Amino acid sequence: MEVGAVGTVIDVQVGALEETRKALHEELSVIVGAAAKLTQVVRIERIVAAADFASVVATAVAETGRGGRRPAGEPHILSVPGRTGWVMVLHPRLFGPGFDAHIRHALYWHELTRLVHKMTFPALLRGKVDRERVLMGELYRAFGEYDAARKAWAWRDALVRDALHEELSGRAVDDFVRSLAGQAAVALGHGREDMARRLNDTLRKDGDVAGFLSVMRGMVVQRTVALALAWAGMDHAPDKALEVAGALRDGLPVAAQPLLSFFRNRHVSGVTDLREGVALLDALWQAWGLHLADGPDGLTALPVEPF
């Protein structure tokens, strides 16, 4: 365990050989040094290449009691609040045969950008769950992933080219292309239109809004985030995304294009006020079969006609 830039502790627990641990420490020093430029927004207190991911996360949460809601499963990277900043915990699978340093550098910066978003995006205050609050929350989530992915790949590519003076590894290229295709497949949701049609027919007949939303909302949110990531890959490396771009162009509803243009505009301008995008996301969701509305008892849904 050593102290890196601006007091950030680097703790490498993986790697059987001292040489391997030293190389990983040098790798993590790169992201720590880059993160030092963001300390006015977000500070990394500690970065841990964990041998036991669950144990390190549990210990970090117990130290402050501010871990918040845990995601399902075990992500590649999980950041939890520490005493003086964020504790970034890296899963041991990141250092296995499926990854290399070039892939990891993009993942490090993606997570760091998520933390910047957490500190700079407007907080959606708790209160009555209504249509606009749900749409706004999911809009920020999707745009956050689009923005983080584009920034992560751009930062990684510049690091590899200008600082390391290397060519992007074949493994990193393959990982990018495979991930892009996977996200596009989820976004296009082959077979989901039939499911959405059946769900809307059932809603029209029995009026079971709770049952409808319990299935439909999760499905649409998943497609939205996947679409944001597919768009990010398409915009970052158009030459590697020709097939995906064609599939998205042919398979998405017309309502998707204005939302993509909005994401591109906000990414380039750096403007984080996304209120103008709520209607755009609503239009896409309706095209996918989810029409949210405000009812007398709170959030409700209306059958999409025709669908």
Specify the DSSP class assigned to residue 40.
T
pLDDT per residue rounded down to tens, the chain (307 residues): 555 545 899 999 998 788 889 999 999 999 999 999 888 899 999 999 999 999 999 999 998 877 655 555 668 999 999 999 999 999 999 999 999 999 999 999 999 999 999 999 987 756 678 999 999 999 999 999 999 999 999 999 999 999 999 999 999 999 999 999 999 999 999 889 999 999 999 999 999 999 999 999 999 999 999 999 999 999 999 999 999 999 999 999 999 999 999 999 999 999 999 999 999 999 999 999 999 999 998 899 999 987 6
Which pair of structure tokens corresponds to residue 258?
């204005």
Which pair of structure tokens corresponds to residue 176?
């990018």
Give the Cα-Cα-Cα angle 208, 211, 217 (nearest 5 degrees).
120
Q: Provide the residue ranges of all domains of the chain, joining segments of one domain with +.
A: 2-96, 131-302
Cα(185)–Cα(196) distance, rounded to whole angstroms? 17
Cα(101)–Cα(96) distance, rounded to whole angstroms? 11
Cα(167)–Cα(290) distance, rounded to whole angstroms? 44
Distances (CA, A) of 262 to 97, 213, 248, 278: 38, 26, 17, 10
For residue 303, the SS3 value is coil
Distances (CA, A) of 4 to 26, 31, 40, 56: 10, 10, 17, 19
